[in-house]
Homo-oligomer: A and B are copies of this chain.
Amino acid sequence: MSQTKFVLGEDAIPTHWVNLLPDLPGEPLPPLNPGTGQPAGPEDLTPIFPMELIGQEVSMEPEVAIPDAVRDAYRLWRPTPLFRARRLEQALDTPAKIFYKYEGVSPAGSHKPNSAVPQAYANAQAGVKKLVTETGAGQWGSSLAFACSLFGLECEVYMVGSSYDQKPYRRSMMQTWGASVHRSPSDRTQSGRAQAENTTGSLGIAISEAVEIAASRPDTNYALGSVLNHVMLHQTVIGQEAMAQLELADAVPDVIVGCVGGGSNFAGLTFPFLRGTLRGENQIRYVAAEPAACPTLTRGVYAYDFGDTVGLTPLMPMYTLGHGFVPPPVHAGGLRYHGDSPMVCGLVKAGVIEARAYKQNETFEAAVRFARTEGIIPAPEPAHAIRATIEEALAAKEAGEERTILFGLCGHGHFDLAAYDAYLAGTLEDPEFSEENLQAALAALPENAPALS
């Protein structure tokens, strides 16, 4: 019998986060104040973020120390296991070695607590009483609810309408940890009332609602579960652990695969490896998998755009479908975002990361195949990564090469089983991507920002 699971003791929880910002190719592109078109400064962010996180957002230090209290909370689920997917390899009859880093062992069931905990801690240290946030499928909202319960903060969550309806138990989970949860768009904010006709909601709208509330109350801050640099930073515990575990497995990755919604799971897994790639120390390929229904990296334009739908945030340099784009209600709610992390987008633009888009049914086909071989039922988001991984494994078989593939299994699908029901019943839809909606949204990009080449 051969080793299947590579586990580390608590002493292997990283002591630092990896900051890839100083390694990125080209000149850094700052976020812009949407009113002036000038680079946004800390004063643009202090109404909604504590200084500690603003500092992390712009830090050019290659490493950032993890506070003791955060590392202590990480012990509740970290280090997470790395698995060799031997049974999937056998089913595919591939010479490829497939490894996956499993973040579903966290209390909330995904990688999201890796950033929720340091964000809640930094806010608690700054004297903030309450955090407000948005959530798509509920992974981020439940993670922040959990983190707030650890540090005695109140938590209020705006949950994207389509996910609120599809995944009622995610709401129950947030409430069990003490949070209050509202369906977005809601009638509690100007932003929500202005978007009332969007009945399914979107991450962009829910962000507007949460930011609006945080900006208007002195003891209340906002927390974002992806996109921003400090969130990418926090997630790098994933890749650092994976690196140590692959070493235990005596394996060197040829390709690393992750799904991308806002980019935090992908960045968390890849950035520690990408530092070596950017410095010419390794030749790893990187594949970002996204939904064909919300194909930011494969069909979006590279431009400055708002992070939210209403236009309350600074402008960020990224691939975008337009902040007004409302994706169809696919079950991978965590991937229904019009933009992506500027850091990840810059690396796609530079050709370092390859992006691929998949339809809903083909990702669920891959997920069921995975569940029936490896046991774990994946969330719809990492099902995209599994689909791309199977493609890579079959390409290795075609080429007759023993390639090593690492992918991020960023969460379990325990709250997504209605989607599996629909897939198994043959009633799951592959919503068409609307070129018309895309062009309309792109026509409404902000005008007072410089073009990006």
Query: A residues touching B (Cβ–Cβ < 8 Å)?
Result: 1, 3-5, 7-10, 68, 71-72, 75-77, 83, 87, 105-107, 109, 146, 149-150, 168-169, 172-173, 175-178, 368, 371-377, 414-415, 417-418, 420-421, 424
User: Can you list 7 residue pairs at the A/B interface with Cβ under 8 Å?
Assistant: A3-B75, A4-B72, A105-B105, A169-B169, A169-B417, A175-B420, A177-B371
**Chain B residue with the shortest CB-CB distance to A176:** B420
For A75, list chain B residues within 8 Å (CB).
1, 3-5
Whether B77 pairs with A172 at a CB distance below 8 angstroms is no
Whether B172 pairs with A417 at a CB distance below 8 angstroms is yes
CB distance from A118 to the nearest CB of B (A): 15
Whether B414 pairs with A109 at a CB distance below 8 angstroms is yes
Whether B172 pairs with A421 at a CB distance below 8 angstroms is yes
Whether A7 pairs with B9 at a CB distance below 8 angstroms is yes
Whether B377 pairs with A107 at a CB distance below 8 angstroms is yes
Given contacts A76-B374, A76-B375, A377-B107, contact A418 B172 (CB under 8 A): yes
Given contacts A1-B68, A375-B76, A375-B146, contact A176 B7 (CB under 8 A): no
Q: How far is the CA of A75 from the CA of B175 in the complex (A)?
A: 34
**Chain B residue with the shortest CB-CB distance to A364:** B176
Given contacts A1-B68, A10-B4, A75-B5, contact A372 B177 (CB under 8 A): yes
Interface centre among A7, A8, A374, A377 (most CB of B within 10 A): A377
- From B5, B76, B172, B372, A420 is in contact (CB under 8 Å) with B172
- Apart from A4-B76, A5-B76, 7 more pairs, CB < 8 Å: A4-B72, A7-B8, A7-B9, A106-B375, A172-B421, A173-B377, A177-B371
- From B72, B178, B415, A372 is in contact (CB under 8 Å) with B178
For A146, list chain B residues within 8 Å (CB).
375
Whether B377 pairs with A176 at a CB distance below 8 angstroms is yes
For A377, list chain B residues within 8 Å (CB).
107, 173, 176
CB distance from A365 to the nearest CB of B (A): 12
For A178, list chain B residues within 8 Å (CB).
372
Q: How far is the CA of A175 from the CA of B415 in the complex (A)?
A: 15
10 residue pairs, one from A and one from B, having the closest CB atoms: A107-B375, A172-B417, A4-B75, A169-B417, A414-B414, A149-B372, A1-B72, A172-B421, A176-B420, A76-B375
Given contacts A105-B105, A169-B417, contact A176 B4 (CB under 8 A): no
CB distance from A182 to the nearest CB of B (A): 16
Q: How far is the CA of A194 from the CA of B7 in the complex (A)?
A: 51
Whether B371 pairs with A176 at a CB distance below 8 angstroms is yes
For A415, list chain B residues within 8 Å (CB).
169, 414
Whether A5 pairs with B1 at a CB distance below 8 angstroms is no
- From B10, B107, B414, A5 is in contact (CB under 8 Å) with B10
Q: How far is the CA of A408 from the CA of B94 in the complex (A)?
A: 40
Given contacts A1-B68, A7-B7, A10-B4, contact A417 B374 (CB under 8 A): no
Whether B372 pairs with A418 at a CB distance below 8 angstroms is no
For A420, list chain B residues within 8 Å (CB).
172-173, 175-176
For A418, list chain B residues within 8 Å (CB).
169, 172
For A414, list chain B residues within 8 Å (CB).
109, 169, 173, 414-415
CB distance from A232 to the nearest CB of B (A): 23
Whether A176 pairs with B417 at a CB distance below 8 angstroms is yes
**Chain B residue with the shortest CB-CB distance to A421:** B172
- From B8, B68, B107, B376, A376 is in contact (CB under 8 Å) with B107
CB distance from A428 to the nearest CB of B (A): 13
Q: How far is the CA of A233 from the CA of B372 in the complex (A)?
A: 26
Q: How far is the CA of A72 from the CA of B5 in the complex (A)?
A: 11
Whether B372 pairs with A421 at a CB distance below 8 angstroms is no
CB distance from A97 to the nearest CB of B (A): 16
Interface centre among A10, A109, A149, A375 (most CB of B within 10 A): A375
